[in-house]
Copies of this chain bind each other. A is one copy, B any other.
């Protein structure tokens, strides 16, 4: 690029995989990128931009530094779901500028895609798919396929429509090439259609791909018309995003922290969580404060505060994690709700009894004080049971109220469980005080 042999550069560059092209592009400085826009055609640029992660913060800058006509041609050449994803992150003035340079029908198409919620099937679908009339033959279809091969995101599934333009069948290219060329599509197409609705959550779409092992899946609107398809590459992104969200929720931090973020930026992302949880934990402190009299009489009680809060917090986190994963996989209806809560209560009770007996023995033998052991054991058992039920109830309730259950994070549950554990511990200790202090 630097030594000016444009022809040689073009050959080397275009022989690379699009992803390797994008790695190269992202390593360039601004003046080098400007040279590249001169050397490459908008469609060659578009192929590469199709593989760039659309959430990259630099993308609006890249488009700004291009000539408006060039950028808009490039966007038009890209698969429309990717172009829409890029435009999603730009301000309205720029979007309008780009769209005004495109042919009206393409611009309207993109406007339509921008209109869908990004986390639904509509938000991840492409309208660049292959459709045929059911009356044509396999031979015609293969011939016509060539014209689609330039623009369609996948040509490995053909969607087959009737005379009302309703989706009536699907065929894979694999099935198509097995047919005799005079066979009419409608006689061999697969009519057992699995579709997703344009408003379906992206997580549900991913579930369909997992079950049926599709490479693409048709998206229909409310009147059952085919409006687009979702392809498997977008589903992999969805699966990664969902996993990252769940993981971030459990950790109480957005784990999408760049390796290049400086320590202050990293800290500023983590602090809002920490300070919020700190304030919550101050409620626990005021609660312990009310028991200062008790502590003054039996300072031994302080020794086990962190054992009880820590263990109950761990149990609550376990219960939370199981519930969040379950909610991600299955829909839980009202009758299941109470059944699951009951199960979690029993699981908590059983876990609590085993852990309680363990700590009863540990403390009893260590301190030669089995009444103290009993206090700690009972408190542990009760605190674990409560933490288990809370860890399961809170995400299920949030999901029922329409919130993402993963937001009820691990640290939130364990901080909340500190509060209930301390309350339980000191209440029980207060009741037994005269027995274990004397002994």
Binding site for B on A (CB under 8 A): 15-20, 51, 142, 145-146, 149, 155-156, 173-174, 177-178, 191-192, 194, 209-213, 215, 232-233, 235-237, 239-240, 243-244, 246-248, 250-253, 255-257, 259, 262-264, 266-267, 270-271, 273-275, 277-278, 281-282, 284-285, 288-289, 292, 295-296, 299-307, 309-311, 313-315, 317-318, 320-322, 325-326, 330, 340, 343-344, 346-347, 349-351, 354-355, 358-359, 362, 384, 410-411, 414-415, 418, 422
Instruction: Establish whether residues B247 and A321, one from each chain, have CB atoms under 8 Å apart when the complex forms.
Output: yes
Measured in the bound complex, the distance between the Cα atoms of B384 and A257 in whole Å is 19
Instruction: Establish whether residues B305 and A194, one from each chain, have CB atoms under 8 Å apart when the complex forms.
Output: no
**Highest count of chain B CB atoms <10 Å: which of A264, A303, A326:** A303
Instruction: Establish whether residues B310 and A414, one from each chain, have CB atoms under 8 Å apart when the complex forms.
Output: yes
Residues of chain B lying within 8 A (CB to CB) of residue A191: 15
Residues of chain B lying within 8 A (CB to CB) of residue A325: 244, 247, 255-256
Instruction: Establish whether residues A302 and B307, one from each chain, have CB atoms under 8 Å apart when the complex forms.
Output: no
Measured in the bound complex, the distance between the Cα atoms of B311 and A314 in whole Å is 14
Instruction: Establish whether residues B267 and A347, one from each chain, have CB atoms under 8 Å apart when the complex forms.
Output: yes
Instruction: Establish whether residues B299 and A295, one from each chain, have CB atoms under 8 Å apart when the complex forms.
Output: yes
A426 to chain B, nearest CB (A): 10
Instruction: Establish whether residues B240 and A322, one from each chain, have CB atoms under 8 Å apart when the complex forms.
Output: no
Instruction: Establish whether residues B174 and A355, one from each chain, have CB atoms under 8 Å apart when the complex forms.
Output: no
A81 to chain B, nearest CB (A): 12
Measured in the bound complex, the distance between the Cα atoms of B212 and A399 in whole Å is 35
CB < 8 Å neighbour of A271 from B247, B310, B354: B354
- Besides A257-B322, A306-B422, 11 other A-B contacts (C-beta < 8 A): A149-B178, A210-B236, A236-B236, A251-B320, A259-B326, A270-B347, A274-B315, A278-B358, A278-B359, A305-B306, A414-B414
Instruction: Establish whether residues B278 and A146, one from each chain, have CB atoms under 8 Å apart when the complex forms.
Output: no
CB < 8 Å neighbour of A247 from B211, B247, B267: B247
Instruction: Establish whether residues B303 and A306, one from each chain, have CB atoms under 8 Å apart when the complex forms.
Output: no
The 4 closest A-B pairs by CB, nearest first: A251-B321, A263-B346, A243-B243, A302-B302
A235 to chain B, nearest CB (A): 7
CB < 8 Å neighbour of A281 from B211, B306, B415: B306
Chain B: CB-nearest residue to A234: B213
Residues of chain B lying within 8 A (CB to CB) of residue A192: 15-17, 20
Sampled A-B contacts (17; CB under 8 Å)? A19-B213, A250-B321, A250-B410, A251-B321, A251-B322, A255-B322, A257-B326, A266-B343, A274-B355, A275-B355, A278-B358, A284-B307, A288-B305, A306-B422, A314-B414, A314-B415, A317-B410
CB < 8 Å neighbour of A306 from B19, B239, B257, B284: B284
